[in-house]
Structure 1
């Protein structure tokens, strides 16, 4: 009986006290010298941030105009996600997004990126909406994975390989 009560209390607490987390994964593809980037963001949180930016109605799960929605997401990510490799800014190209369960998976890439020794990532996705936002960042280079967690307002991380 104690275990059931504990599980119920944890479930009730999570329902009452939502958490805000995004996950950004940056993978260096050595064969093509590209960065492959994915950002997993709760769809409702991303939609709310985009509504504030566009000041209009929006439904990212069933968009009335997919191209306009892609443009909003691309613009939002351009403002809130920056990467440098060995001190050089990386030009991110937005590829699109898909909805999977409660998450929006946003995809970006960067071409002509040679293997690097140092990376700097600035990620303040959803910080303006959620004081408790947490952004997880993973970078994979030559099979080596480095990860960090950024708690709002901390928005920058450095990685060495």
Structure 2
């Protein structure tokens, strides 16, 4: 009976190790052209727990995002991080963007960014460089969807390939 229990533990334990929830490291960014505003409007969805870990590891801030304990400084550091890891080029030149802010939706943070004064008629290319969280998680995947007028393109950016471009 004792050896049967040991055998069960030996056989079942490895199976349990594979049934544990697998953590996915992914963000989703949408870039759309607004004819009304003449601007590129960008939303980026990133998991709250990944950003909590980022703020702790990079800036030693115990952020506790989306709780009453979130420090006011958290938003400033999130913007600082985004500006260093998320770069947009329009027609081959770096485009400065306005960080509009963020909101929480279930377990994700939605960031709002806008590049004003973009004329679709003169738009030839948009390149996105997204290194968000690739410095923290080797498995991080940043999915980007671009929709500019009738042109659409999607790509998955990873640590070894952090840039994607849509040529019009």
Task: Give the TM-score normalised by the residue count of structure 2.
Answer: 0.82
2:140 is the counterpart of 1:111 = no
Give structure 2 stretches of 5+ with no counterpart: 1-14
How many positions carry a matched residue from both structures? 150
CA deviation profile, 1:43-92 (whole Å, cap 9, x unmatched):
10011112222213211112546642221111110011000111121111
1:4 maps to what in 2?
Answer: none
Higher gyration radius (CA)? 2
Query: Residues of 2 paired with 1:112 and 1:13: CA distance?
Result: 50
Give SS of 2:84's match: helix
How has the CA–CA distance of structure 1 residues 117 and 42 changed in structure 2, closer, same or farther, with 3 Å as cutoff?
A: same
2:80 is the counterpart of 1:75 = yes
C-alpha contact (below 8 Å) 2:38/2:118 kept by paired residues: yes
C-alpha contact (below 8 Å) 1:127/1:153 kept by paired residues: no
RMSD: 1.8
C-alpha contact (below 8 Å) 2:87/2:129 kept by paired residues: yes
Task: Give the TM-score normalised by the residue count of structure 1.
Answer: 0.85
Give structure 1 stretches of 5+ with no counterpart: 1-8
